[in-house]
Structure 1
């Protein structure tokens, strides 16, 4: 049996959330290894767009998040919730601040909010259905930072035409700007013109929600179309 010699090797790496990925350096071709191209998640300072590129996180397929096909109702129906957040709220985190801000103005009654205290690695059928319903029935999806700024929730919201409201702050660790990109965090999404709402502090949220209450359905439909079209292009470009 004849075997062919490996001629080219590229790696897509689900990187560490803190950008601690030094273990792979010795495998890069420039360091004597076989890996010619490395595609890596999160805002790694190694990204040079020559042999190391950023790879978007995407949706959480490991938690059985599905491939979502846009429908007429997804685009055109009135959505009963102003916003949503279903997730873990860590003590003394910006997520806790977000919950407090929502309660202060009573906006938690207008949004689909379901907070838990402990992270769950897997969804149940019920929790996954609730999460998908929340995305589908909310105009906005609140995306606070976790260990990293980039999270699956951003892409999952796009799948359902729910505008991500993204906390645009750097988290701890070694992620950040690189020699060719200076707009971290989320520089890949920003460079592709992501039609999101970026905020630096959740204190900005009440004004955003007040404005949201004044937007008519036709404008929301157009915004959903633009988000879904952008996301489709982003996935295929």
Structure 2
């Protein structure tokens, strides 16, 4: 049967309309679950439908987010990484070595030996006669800062830490009075809880009479935790009182000498030297007499004076340093105490000290290792004699030594002295760490 074209056309129109209505129904009114890619996600939280968010466009409850699951997983992984990183950094911080701060006030010339020769710290300005000099360095777990000079006065030193080392001179009564005033100042800082830990480096009395400082030691009810004292004091116990080296005469501007090839290998024209004060009825008179009697004074640089002079001139310092650098041996007779600056100054130039190994009068500790027990314990490669009458035989052996032997001995002396200073640095640092900061 043939369908008329008009009916066929109407049938097509009807089918199109019906399909359009069906499609519209499925799009706008069907509740069937759609695929994950095309679903509409209903938000639980947020403003009601049609309410503007932050003054912007209206916010609708249903927002389409086809990648929600992936985003949730990504955010979760990112948060886990962030937390792991935080824990890692916290662990590094916990395991990081703790550092401590200690301030040193140098109110005696041996403070320069401590800072420049032992700790090898810098000083600014470099001018040795500046009114105010300061420096900083790290040693072990400690950050040290150092202040010295006439302008370093009580109440005018920047104190931003609670641990303090005070360098004092107790050699004579005038120095003791000055040092006592500094101790009283520091005691007031302890009482006000500004300072918690105190150590003293003391140039002690040459007869080891240091009773004036005893009441200030913590063992006697005072506030000083540690005492580092020069000379063979009977108080030394390596617990709270330690022996400290005298060092070079920094008060006479003796410099820090750096070893070099010229210092080690040079051909030194003199066997020995002695430049110093000759006291009446002392072994120094015997020394000069032995040199002249044997004719050895012509092979040694000798300059004797009758009166001790506290200061060097530029010329006398230069002459002294020249004598040390051009002599194989430096003669070190006893003075008020066996330990003298000359010993350390000779070491600085690689000139072997010939030391009169005699215990002087006073209250210093006797014993098989005294005097100079600190140097002997460190294995000092010196020549020790008990009488200057032994000197001619020593110098005769010097004549027979080859240049190679002399150079080798010089090198060993300089290496020993460098090692000795390093040992003192480590000992000083470790003792302060253990005493001041043992509880963290």
Structure 2 residue corresponding to 1:87, chosen from 276, 279, 294: 276
Structure 2 distance, partners of 1:59, 1:126, is: 18
How many residues align? The count is: 233
| Length-normalised TM-score, structure 1 | 0.96
Q: CA deviation at 1:41?
A: 0.1
Tell whether 2:420 aligns with 1:231.
no
Deviations 1:11-36 (A, max 9, x none): 10010111110000000001110111
Q: Does 1:73 align with 2:262?
A: yes
Tell me how far apart the structure 1 counterparts of residues 323 and 356 of structure 2 sit (CA, whole Å). Answer: 19
Is 1:203 aligned to residue 392 of structure 2?
no
Q: CA RMSD in A?
A: 1.2
Alignment of 1:1-237 (within 5 A): 5=193, 6-177=195-366, 182-237=368-423
Q: Which runs of 5+ in 1 are unaligned?
A: none
TM-score (structure 2 length as normaliser):
0.52
Give structure 1 regions of 4+ aligned residues with deviation exceeding 2 angstroms.
2-5
- Partner deviation per Cα, 1:101-122 (whole Å, 9 max, x = no partner): 0011100000000000000000
- Structure 2 residue runs without a partner (length 5+): 1-159, 163-192, 424-440
Counterparts of 2:369 and 2:264, CA distance in 1: 31
Tell me the distance in 2 between the aligned counterparts of 1:71 and 1:229.
11
**SS in structure 2 of the partner of residue 103 of structure 1:** helix
Whole-angstrom distance in 2 between the partners of 1:129 and 1:40: 30
Q: Which has the higher helix share?
A: 2
Question: How many Å separate the matches in 2 of 1:139 and 1:117?
Answer: 25
Asked if the contact 1:145–1:167 (Cα under 8 Å) also holds between the matched residues in 2, the reply is yes
Partner SS for 1:68: coil
CA contact (8 A) 1:170 1:176 kept: no
**Partners of 2:358 and 2:204 in 1: CA distance:** 19
CA distance in 2, matches of 1:149, 1:226: 23
- Relative distance call for 1:119 and 1:3 in structure 2 (3 A) is closer
